[in-house]
Amino acid sequence: MKKIFLFFLSFILVSYSFSQRVENFQLVDAVSGQEFSLASHGEAKAVVLVFTSLNCPFSKLYEERISSLNSQFAGEGFVFAMINPHVGIEEEETSAGMKARVAEKKMSIPFLDDGNQVVTKQFGITKLPEVVVITPGPTGFAVVYRGAIDNNPQMAENANIKYLESALTAIQNRRSPSPSSSRAVGCNVKLR
């Protein structure tokens, strides 16, 4: 009996160590002007946060892929949001620029202003683009995947490991994403 208890205790501790609990946050959507709150998405299958910017060349290469994944999964209960940590750091990084980019690319995704970098620092984001996938649960929200979107920033058609798509498909099928993390490649986040 003691061995069984120790096994379950170690399983719980290992499981807990792989999931990062997430505090609620609120950011303003540059497109709608409305507040986006994590807590208001407790019924979603997952919330997909894409940390990105207007000027990063890697971020630009992923815009169509992000929009495509949103189109593929939004109807299935997944919520996508892009987050810009460079608002006010670079001259071109503005809410007006974010709104214009979403209109130009015909995206239907909130583009959140994290110019004070509270959420970026909360997740320890270092690269753009970098993705964090959060799922709701009985004890709150937890990170189930973080890292790269896929393994080929330059050419979407040559990406043979689609990390984000695989993670979302796993969640859709009520499984844990595997891998639960990957190394994001892109522009460095400029911290304040």
Domain count, the chain: 1
- Kindly state whether residue 56 falls inside one of the protein's structural domains: yes
In sequence order, which residues have a C-beta less than 8 Å from that of residue 111 and are 6 or more positions away?
29, 30, 31, 81, 82, 83, 84, 98, 99, 101, 102
Local confidence band at 13 (pLDDT 50, 70, 90 cut-offs): very low
Range of the domain at 41: 21-188
Distance CA 11, CA 164 (A): 26
- Kindly state whether residue 8 falls inside one of the protein's structural domains: no
- Kindly state whether residue 111 falls inside one of the protein's structural domains: yes
pLDDT tens digits, one per residue of 119-145: 999 999 999 999 999 999 998 999 999
Instruction: Check whether 14 has a pLDDT greater than 90.
Output: no
Local confidence band at 95 (pLDDT 50, 70, 90 cut-offs): very high
Report the DSSP pairing between strands 127-128 and 111-113: unpaired
- Look at the pTM and tell me if it is higher than 0.75: yes
pLDDT value of position 69: 98
Q: Cα angle at 105 between 189 and 192, to 5 degrees?
A: 15
- Kindly state whether residue 14 falls inside one of the protein's structural domains: no
pLDDT value of position 19: 60
* CATH number of the domain that residue 146 is part of: 3.40.30.10
- Kindly state whether residue 15 falls inside one of the protein's structural domains: no
- Kindly state whether residue 85 falls inside one of the protein's structural domains: yes
